[in-house]
Amino acid sequence: MKTLLKDVIRLGLILTAFTVVACVGLAFVNQVTKPIIDGLDARRTEQSLKNLFAGAESFEMVPEFPAGAGAVKFASAYLVSKGGQSIGLAVKAAGPTYGGDTVLLVGVGSDAKVAGVIVLDNKDTPGLGANAKNPNYYVDKASKTTFPGQFRGKPLSDPFEAKKDVIAITASTITSRGIAVIVKQAGDAATAYLAAHGGKQ
């Protein structure tokens, strides 16, 4: 009994020693890389927001945006303004598509229309569903409209149904339907937020 206890303590201490050294090393690496990673993230978000809203000047994170109900979740939201006046809201939303969650940045103007959609992350089948993220895949070749590009200017009162008012990606109905649902829900939430907070601006 006594030797067993001794063994447990000895092994525990050795394991602790290895873990502590590993943690100190990781803490050091994290200290070096964290500011760089955060900077990159912030720059990427800012760039995407500028692409969504032409002429946008400043972005302000909305502190208490609802997290979303059901399968679609909202990670964060940014109030976009130009010349001191709010021109819309961008919502970072994630929802299920074919190969896992797809993350979108959905811009909604104060006119209750979609200002634009950017696909930030998509893990669907390469060559099929992943075309949602491909800048050279056009659902309408004549006007060079990409799959997320077709949402630009679309009124949120539309039904947002793939193969009806949303042109689906060829052979990728699940992806198309999933993304349309995310856009719709994020758009509705953004409109509701803008309507509720519009008076303060």
Query: Footprint of other proteins on this chain (CB under 8 A)?
Result: 10-11, 14-15, 18-19, 22, 25-26, 29-30, 32-33, 36-37, 40, 123, 125-128
Nearer to other proteins, 30 or 51 (CB): 30
- Residues composing the chain: 201
Find the shortest distance in angstroms from Cβ 52 to other proteins.
20
Find the shortest distance in angstroms from Cβ 125 to other proteins.
7
Nearer to other proteins, 129 or 148 (CB): 129
Nearer to other proteins, 82 or 123 (CB): 123
Find the shortest distance in angstroms from Cβ 59 to other proteins.
20
Find the shortest distance in angstroms from Cβ 114 to other proteins.
25
